[in-house]
Amino acid sequence: MENATLLWEQVKEIARSQNYIPDSVYEEVIKPITEVYKETSTALVLVVENRLLKFRIEKFYSEILSKIYSDLVKENKLIKFITRDQIEAEEKEHNSFKTNQVNSVDILKSQRKLRPEYTFENFVTGKSNRYAYLSALKVAESPVATINPLYIFGDVGLGKTHLMQAIGHYVLDNNPNCNVIYTTAQQFVDDFVTVTIKKNPDKTQEFADYYRSADILLVDDIQFLANKNATQEEFFKLFEYLHEKNKQMIITSDRKADDLENIMSRLKSRFCWGEMVDIQKPDLELRIKILQNKLSLLITDPTLVSKDALEYIAQHFSNNVRELEGALRRFINYCVSFCIEYSLENAKISLDSIIDQPSEEPDETDFRNITNIKKAVSKYYGISLSDLSSASRKKELVLPRQIAIYLIRDRFNIPLQKIGEHFGARDHTTIAHACGKVETMIDTDWTVKQDIDNIMKMLS
């Protein structure tokens, strides 16, 4: 561990002396981090004081720190962070694991798939989502007592996944032994197809048993079951089983159950058994409230941000909360990078390139069009088209860029070289690397897969 601590000190020193991180940020945020929690074969894990700090560092500085570290040890490695709360929770889990193996495994399984920040506390309510929020809370407080299933629907980026996972968090906080299983319909389809292709009855049974063991089953984006008849049949059986056993189900969708296309009517009618609630687009007042809330997660002193700037962002990003958040992150990132005020003026400058320019009408003809994919990806992540193709290696640009490249490669039969031309004349090996990277991430990081699903939805 001594060696690890030494390495970390070297990384810090390089970050400071070569100005990878602004001095003020270095002094306030990076310098105080002195404790190595553990060193694994892939990462160095450091202790930070709280979630806010962890969130901030991960958003802005993990990538560069990991790069410095990798260069130092001449191997691809990551710098990761853990809070003291998380260490405590890990230790608790570890201890209960010894006493009650089955339950702990289940908890680990289920908790892993819930995003830590998708809690009721972090969900801001207004006219457009209050009813859905209250229904979700009711379900979380007393599962199956009143509403089963709870069916939440609404357009992309309005908080369905957040709200559904908040139920999971709430239930687990009250009863850590409860087996909460979160999955996306897409994942369910993929898993089912995988086990059926193998024609191994044990695996098929294992699949069925896994979902049947749920006390609370969260199934996100159910519209993805469309046209998957065998999977629908399997899901129908699961639904009947869990309902019969009085287990709570929560389902989200981009539309009302009645409007689902190519999904068997038996299933649609089951979805209407409980309650159907919708989330609408947030009005200006709610958008401002959401920005204020997100701000407190991004910077230590939200009062430094001018009200005008927040209003400006709220006015220009009205379609969905994800875009709104993306714009806020971009603005904050911009001001932090240049050490400038969080003013209206700087909000305008930083967002200029992503606020819709009327002249840039999307190509009518199709989705089979590179620019449309680039636009969808940049809109989804709140970055500009030029950033997407730029040479910058910033973390918040690299992933979107790789995903855009992957989607184009996946969709069209275009030579890698040609794709490279659309991304600042990158060469074909870089394009191949990006595709491979995303393919691996799809298998290992469900959030990436979900992001891709959401982008596909925007495109269709």
In the complex with Mg ion, the residue whose CB is nearer, 252 or 430, is 252
Interacting residue ranges for ligand ADP, rule: CB under 6 A: 118, 122-124, 129, 154, 156-162, 290, 293, 321-322, 325
- Rg of the chain over all Cα atoms, to the nearest angstrom: 23
The residue at minimum Cβ distance from Mg ion is 161
In the complex with ligand ADP, the residue whose CB is nearer, 223 or 389, is 223
Applying the rule CB under 5 A, the residues between 160 and 199 that interact with Mg ion are 161
Region of residue 341 (phi > 0: left; psi between -120 and 50: alpha; otherwise: beta): beta
Residues in the interface with Mg ion (CB under 5 A) total 1
In the complex with ligand ADP, the residue whose CB is nearer, 211 or 317, is 317
Task: Based on the shown chain and the rule CB under 5 A, indicate whether residue 320 belongs to the binding site for Mg ion.
Answer: no
Which residues touch 4 (CB under 8 Å, ≥6 apart)?
36, 39, 44
Look-up of token digits 């088209």: 385
From Mg ion, ligand ADP, none, interface partner of 321 (C-beta below 5 to 8 A by class):
ligand ADP
Strands 36-39 and 43-48: antiparallel
Strand order of the β-sheet with 36-39 is 36-39, 43-48, 78-83
| Shortest distance (Å) from residue 293 CB to ligand ADP | 6
Taking CA atoms, 96 is separated from 86, 113, 137, 425, in Å, by 15, 20, 28, 54
Q: Which two tokens stand for residue 217?
A: 């089953």
Q: What is the DSSP string of 169-222?
A: HHHHHH-TTS-EEEEEHHHHHHHHHHHHHHT-HHHHHHHHHHHHT-SEEEEE-G
Expressed in angstroms, the distance from the first to the final Cα of the chain is 51
Q: Are 151 and 253 in contact (CB under 8 A)?
A: yes
In the complex with ligand ADP, the residue whose CB is nearer, 5 or 122, is 122
The residue at minimum Cβ distance from ligand ADP is 159
| Shortest distance (Å) from residue 455 CB to Mg ion | 12
In the complex with ligand ADP, the residue whose CB is nearer, 162 or 270, is 162
| Shortest distance (Å) from residue 226 CB to Mg ion | 16
| Shortest distance (Å) from residue 131 CB to Mg ion | 18
From ligand ADP, Mg ion, none, interface partner of 384 (C-beta below 5 to 8 A by class):
none
Look-up of token digits 């006015």: 315
From ligand ADP, Mg ion, none, interface partner of 158 (C-beta below 5 to 8 A by class):
ligand ADP
DSSP assigned state of 363? P
In the complex with ligand ADP, the residue whose CB is nearer, 123 or 192, is 123
| Shortest distance (Å) from residue 129 CB to ligand ADP | 5
Applying the rule CB under 5 A, the residues between 143 and 162 that interact with Mg ion are 161
Residues that bind Mg ion (CB under 5 A): 161
